[in-house]
Each structure stands twice: as structure tokens, then as C-alpha cells.
Amino acid sequence: MATLLAPGSAYELWAETYASTAHNPLMEAEEAVVERLLRSISAVRALDVGTGSGRYLPLLSASGASVVGVDLSMAMLRKGRGRLRICANACALPFRRASFQLVNASLMVGDIRDLRAWAAEMARVLARDGHLVYSDFHPTWSERGWQRTFRDAAGTLRAIRFEPHTIDDHLAALESAGLAVRAIREPRLTIKRRNLPVLAVFHAVKEGSARL
């Protein structure tokens, strides 16, 4: 049985073995959807929240945007190289209002208990017409009792505690932040011969922008 850890403690242990590319079917399914969304968006400045080892920084930079990555884990930040990365709390970002045209957040809101406060902070740093793209673990995880697991450098199986959010929770948080939903995607994987949704990916735009 895996030892259950709080996210902060888990990332300190996981950082040593964590790869900077998608390294399992779940991450590959997420990246396939998120990459298509990000490539459709033009931005002068982009922010990667919960950047970890910086998996999405090259893609965001390839569009010509000036990119900043933020993460609360210094151990994970040390995995990245050559790009601007800052240690910061996702619910209290050290940036001025309307600083970015694009915010990306990959599989990190499961670490956030107050989803509305998080969404409000994303909206605060987004410029008018700015885009928010983010992913979360699908409600299926809670319904089926699944865990986020990894093996540390010693080979010990660990599990990371996460906050379950329903699709309605996400929609309510985005609406309260003044963000209009443009797309919801639910990537699936075949698990024990069943094709199940495993992720929820959201694309929202700051309220008042023109429809894409």
C-alpha cells in the first residue's frame, strides 16, 4: 500500500525521479489535448502555473511568447534549466493585474482546496481577452477511489493527496472569476477493458472578449 503524503512533501521526494516530459499514458493523454489548445492561442506573455520541471515551457516559448513558470516546490523548480522560473503560491501570484495573455496550469489544481480563490487569481493576472487553459483529475478518480502514485528514488511507492473537484465545481469557480468557458475536454484511457474519462481540460477566456 502506498504511503499517502501531502503535495508539498510528495514533490520534495518525487523531484529526484520526475521526468521533464510526459512519462505515462495519463500525461500523454493530457498533453495531446492541451497542446492543441495552446497552439491555437497567440500571446505576448504567458504564465505556466504549477510548472514543476517545466514540461510546458518549451511549447509556450515556441509561439514567441515571453514565458514565466511558477511553482511552490523548489525541488521541482531545480529540475528545470534555462528559463525564468519563480517559487510562488498559485493563489497569491507575484505579478501585476493583467500581466499575461495566456495562463496554462497542468494537473495542479488537485493541490488547491479553494478552487474559486485560485480561479480569481488566474483571472486577476490575465489581460482582457486573455486565455486560461488548465487540466485536472476527472471526478472519476474520486468515484473509483484512484490515487496519484509515484516511486521515490529508493523505489518506495508513494501516493499524493489531492482535492477532488467536480465539473460543476470548475464551472462555478470560472463563472465567479468572470471567465467564460470556451471548451471542456475529457480525455479517456482504457482501464481494465473500460474506456473511462481520466482528465478534465478547460479553456476559458476573460469575460468580455470576443468569441473565438
199: in domain: yes
- Judge whether residue 182 has pLDDT over 70: yes
Closest CA to 37 of 198, 175, 205: 205
Assess if residue 151 is contained within a domain. Answer: no
Nine cell digits for residue 69? 513558470
What pLDDT was estimated at residue 211?
A: 41
Among 13-17, 70-74, 101-105, where is mean pLDDT lowest?
13-17
Task: Report how far apart, in Å, the C-alpha atoms of 159 and of each of 2, 22, 35, 89 are.
Answer: 5, 19, 27, 22
**Residue ranges making up the domain that contains 96:** 20-137+165-206
Residue 43 maps to a domain: yes
pLDDT in tens, 105-143: 999 999 999 999 999 999 999 999 999 999 999 999 999
State how many domains the chain has: 1
The CATH number for 199's domain is 3.40.50.150
Query: Does residue 159 belong to any structural domain of this protein?
Result: no
Please tell me the pTM assigned to this model. 0.94
